Structure 1
Amino acid sequence: MYRLRPGIKQNPEKRWALPDRVFFACGACHILAYACLARFPDRGFRALWIKPAPGFKGSHCVVTNESGLAFDYHGWSRFDRLMAHMQAKANRWWPGWNSTLVELPPDVLISEAKSRTYDGLWLREPKQFLHDAMPRAERYLARFDSGCPLLNART
């Protein structure tokens, strides 16, 4: 979890210039989630929106499957560990932070209009960034291909 200096998310050039890890942590996590679902369609992954409780920040999208494997900007991890990490980090900045998990259909991740049908969700489409964010997400995801032995086993 990162917190950007004010104005970066509103400046397309500065936002695009962020390191990949920060870019996909701060506003493009849903594009990375979509890329993962597309790359591993037969691994039982589903997209989850980590929706902060009312009055809190820290919205995030990840993918996970029934075996507890998860992927986000950190790379591959156990979903329970990822959630514990996020909970601890968010509570340092926003004491009392909590969230709910909302499963999202893949097409919602890349559609502003469809995302806005979920209360509190408003996602940019890949081409609404300075450049198309999907190729960047696919390249970032590819960096982790050899980092997860569980992907080589059928889940």
Structure 2
Amino acid sequence: MYILKSGIKKDPVRRWMLPDRIFFGHGACHILAGTYLLHPPVAGFYAERIVTADGFPGAHVYVTDGTVAFDYHGYSLRARLLAHHRKGWSRHRAGWTCEMVPVNFDLLDTLELNLRKMLGPDQYLHDPIPRAQTFIRRIDHNHCYADTCVPR
């Protein structure tokens, strides 16, 4: 699990300079999920949130069809993504717990996001939506989704 150095998320320039996977994995996951849902490369996906207990870090947003999930890692089995996330945060924070909640708001609407303590697209140094679109375009979605669904 990657832990950001102190102060990066509060510094717009340093945050923007992060590599894509770290940028979308540590604070802009909702932007990636919302952008994915604008023009879903694989049908049937919806957004879910990992909501942590009060005072704990580790909230996360991803898209899923209920079996397969997509986030900054690419495609993975939803159960595997959740186990990885839970294991990583539990190791670093005693008592860490969470619940998965369907997203019932626009992941690219600043007001809706701010109500949930997330930044809107217009609150980053530059517009993160084109960055998310580029990240998403680099993936062969049909191949990666099919490969994820193959029993191992």
Q: Same fold (TM over 0.5)?
A: yes
Question: How far did 1:6 drift?
Answer: 1.3
Q: Which amino acid aligns with 1:114?
A: E
Match of 2:111 in 1: 113
Preserved CA contact (<8 Å) 1:48 1:61 = yes
Q: Residues of 2 paired with 1:54 and 1:130: CA distance?
A: 28
Spell out, residue by residue over 1:39-73, the C-alpha distance to the aligned partner (whole angstroms, 9 max, x if none): 2177111111100112311011000013x110000
Match of 1:150 in 2: 146
Preserved CA contact (<8 Å) 2:105 2:112 = no
SS, match of residue 110 in structure 1? coil
In structure 2, relative to structure 1, the CA distance for the partners of 1:116 and 1:130 (3 Å cut) is closer
Any unmatched runs of 5+ in structure 2?
A: none
Any unmatched runs of 5+ in structure 1?
A: none
Match of 1:19 in 2: 19
Match of 2:92 in 1: 93
Preserved CA contact (<8 Å) 1:51 1:60 = yes
% identity of equivalent residues: 43
What TM-score, normalized by structure 2, do the two folds share?
Answer: 0.87
Match of 2:65 in 1: 65
Q: Residues of 1 paired with 2:86 and 2:54: CA distance?
A: 15
Q: Which amino acid aligns with 1:143?
A: R
Question: How far did 1:98 drift?
Answer: 1.4
Question: Aligned pair count?
Answer: 147
SS, match of residue 9 in structure 1? coil
SS, match of residue 51 in structure 1? strand
Match of 1:50 in 2: 50
The RMSD of aligned alpha carbons is: 2.0
In structure 2, relative to structure 1, the CA distance for the partners of 1:125 and 1:11 (3 Å cut) is same
Q: Residues of 2 paired with 1:135 and 1:9: CA distance?
A: 20
Q: Residues of 2 paired with 1:92 and 1:144: CA distance?
A: 31
**Residue 83 (1) aligns with residue 78 (2):** no
Q: Residues of 2 paired with 1:145 and 1:36: CA distance?
A: 13
